[in-house]
Amino acid sequence: MKSRFLPYGTQYIDTIDRNKILKILKSNLITQGPEIKKFEDKFAKYVGSKYAVACASGTAALHMSCLALGINSKSKILTSAITFVASANCAEYLGANVDFVDVDKKTFCISVAELEKKLKKKKIDLVISVHLSGHSSDMSEIYKLKKKYNFHIIEDSCHALGGKFNNFKVGSCKYSDISTFSFHPVKPITTGEGGMITTNNKKIYEKLLLYRTHGIHKNPSKFENKKLAYDKYNQRNMWYYEMKLLGFNYRITDFQAALGISQLTKLNRFTKKRNQIAKYYNFKFKNIKFLRTPPNSKNVHHTYHLYTILIDFKKLGITKNQLMKYLYKKKIGSQVLYIPVFLQPYYKNKYNYKSSDFPVSMEYYEQALSIPIFHGLKKKEQDNIIKKIIRFLNFN
């Protein structure tokens, strides 16, 4: 049998998932039907939050969250230097000042010590912490800083659905105002494109509902223009709605939500399998010189959205690109997640932050390589990946 190409991550969709989507496609309501609220309720129950709002993507979730927290052109925000650009872009959309924090040496999530250094220097309105690769940031320590310096917290949990910190599910918002998720195909569960926001704050929840759909609502008790809203018999005009603020079309479809519900029922199984794959990699890579396996703190339940190894290419005298190309030829996908965001031309040209201020992020960037981890990865395939990596490191 011909071997298949193994990507660094991919979705797992089965016949049950497909049938759930088909059922909605055969119904009358394919966009704003009943599945969305069902998905939100099940999601909130799963993570242990009061409210959940489904939306078009993880990026939309971050953007709306910034809006709901009142971020604007006068705001100052901090996020992790190692993340996908969306964690910073969401505040840029609103004209806010965006700065980055170096990552922690052990977890590669935002460094609490570096965060405090920045908080001491300037007033910050919002910190967006990123649970890189599925390993939660040190949320209880960040929360302590929130109490001391007074800022909002968004957890960018796009990698960490199914994970825990201090035994609280990621998304419970135990230590934050808002938590955001993505359902892009490589993420812990998928809806194609899609996202979710969780919060325990009713005011934030109500704002998010408005921002998701053009700022429009149909709640009679909140209508401002009673003359337009009611007829001469004091009956509410059936067509009437009001636009209260400038929102977006950030909605998810009903068939995506149906897929999301179906995927959510498999999430624990997915997370367990990813942990098994990671454990086997950890075991096989344990004694390989110049190779470090991913962190896993005691108070964290990792989701292993990514399995990222750190290789000291300098000491080995090879380049990351050489290894990546070799693996690619052997039908093994790998990826660098992520290029430090402050190095991206947009951010470089606008802010010109210095690499020397982010030594841990720079070292991480030099060494990090994410290798395949996904639900459908077979043991034989994993053995082959391990063999190929070790062989390349030993003979180059």
Give the interface segment with ligand PLP, choosing from 68-76, 79-87, 218-226, 254-262 (CB under 6 A).
79-87
Closest CA to 356 of 380, 340, 332, 375: 340
| Residue 156 interacting with ligand PLP (CB under 6 A) | yes
**Among residues 192 and 215, whose Cβ is nearest to ligand PLP?**
192
| Residue 198 interacting with ligand PLP (CB under 6 A) | no
Among 11, 49, 57, 79, binds ligand PLP (CB under 6 A): 57
* Residue 172 beta carbon to ligand PLP: minimum distance, rounded to whole angstroms: 18
The site map against ligand PLP for 107-136 (x = CB under 6 A) is: -----------------------x------
| Residue 195 interacting with ligand PLP (CB under 6 A) | yes
**Among residues 223 and 347, whose Cβ is nearest to ligand PLP?**
347
**Among residues 157 and 199, whose Cβ is nearest to ligand PLP?**
157
* Residue 177 beta carbon to ligand PLP: minimum distance, rounded to whole angstroms: 17
270: enclosing H helix or E strand: helix 267-285
Tell me the residue type at 327.
L
d(CA 138, CA 154): 13
| Residue 20 interacting with ligand PLP (CB under 6 A) | no
Rg of the chain, C-alpha, whole Å? 22
3-state secondary structure of 35: helix
**Among residues 188 and 195, whose Cβ is nearest to ligand PLP?**
195
| Residue 155 interacting with ligand PLP (CB under 6 A) | no
Residue 87 CB: number of other CB atoms within 10 A? 26
| Residue 170 interacting with ligand PLP (CB under 6 A) | no
* Residue 299 beta carbon to ligand PLP: minimum distance, rounded to whole angstroms: 21
| Residue 182 interacting with ligand PLP (CB under 6 A) | yes
3-state secondary structure of 357: helix
Among 49, 65, 75, 83, binds ligand PLP (CB under 6 A): 83
d(CA 382, CA 140): 35
131, two tokens? 């649970």
Give the interface segment with ligand PLP, choosing from 78-86, 102-110, 341-349, 384-392 (CB under 6 A).
78-86
Among 139, 158, 369, 373, binds ligand PLP (CB under 6 A): 158
Among 8, 51, 84, 353, binds ligand PLP (CB under 6 A): 84
Find where tokens 């991480």 sit.
364
Residue positions counted in the chain = 396
Work out whether strand 164-165 and strand 126-130 pair parallel, antiparallel, or are unpaired. Answer: unpaired
Under rule CB under 6 A, how many of the chain's residues touch ligand PLP? Answer: 14
| Residue 58 interacting with ligand PLP (CB under 6 A) | yes
Among 86, 161, 170, 278, binds ligand PLP (CB under 6 A): 86
Specify the DSSP class assigned to residue 103: B
| Residue 11 interacting with ligand PLP (CB under 6 A) | no
3-state secondary structure of 144: helix
* Cβ atoms of 385 and 319 closer than 8 Å: no
* Residue 142 beta carbon to ligand PLP: minimum distance, rounded to whole angstroms: 16
Ramachandran category for residue 166: left, alpha or beta (phi over 0 → left; psi -120 to 50 → alpha): left
Specify the DSSP class assigned to residue 52: E
* Cβ atoms of 128 and 157 closer than 8 Å: no
CA atoms within 13 A on the CB side of 317: 3
Q: Please give the angle made by the CA atoms of 129, 134 and 139, to the nearest 5 degrees.
A: 35
Give me the residues that bind ligand PLP (CB under 6 A), please: 57-59, 83-84, 86-87, 130, 156, 158-159, 182, 184, 195
